[in-house]
Amino acid sequence: MDPVAVAGRRTITRAAARDKGTRWNKAIATYLVGCGWPYAEPRAKNGAKDRGDVTGVAGVMIEAKNTTRPRLGQWMAEVQAQTANAEALVGVCWMKRAGSTHAADGVVVATMATVVTLGYDGGLAADLRLSQVLADPKQPPPDRVVLLKGGGCAAMRGDLFVRLLRDGGW
Residue 150's pLDDT is 73
- 120-146 pLDDT, tens digit per residue, is 877 777 677 888 888 877 777 777 888
Is residue 26 pLDDT above 60, yes or no? yes
Is residue 70 pLDDT above 80, yes or no? yes
Residue 1's pLDDT is 47
- Stretch 32-51: mean pLDDT: 91
DSSP string over the chain? --EEEEETTEEEEHHHHHHHHHHHHHHHHHHHHHTT-TT-EEPPP-GGG---SEE-STTEEEEEE--SS--HHHHHHHHHHHHHHTT-SEEEEEEPPTT---GGGSEEEEEHHHHHHTT--S-EEEEE-HHHHHH-TTSS-TT-EEEESSSSEEEEEHHHHHHHHHHTT-
- 1-22 pLDDT, tens digit per residue, is 445 554 455 677 878 777 777 9
Angle formed at CA 89 by CA 156 and CA 146, multiple of 5 degrees = 15
pTM, full prediction: 0.87
Residue ranges covered by each domain of the chain: 3-167
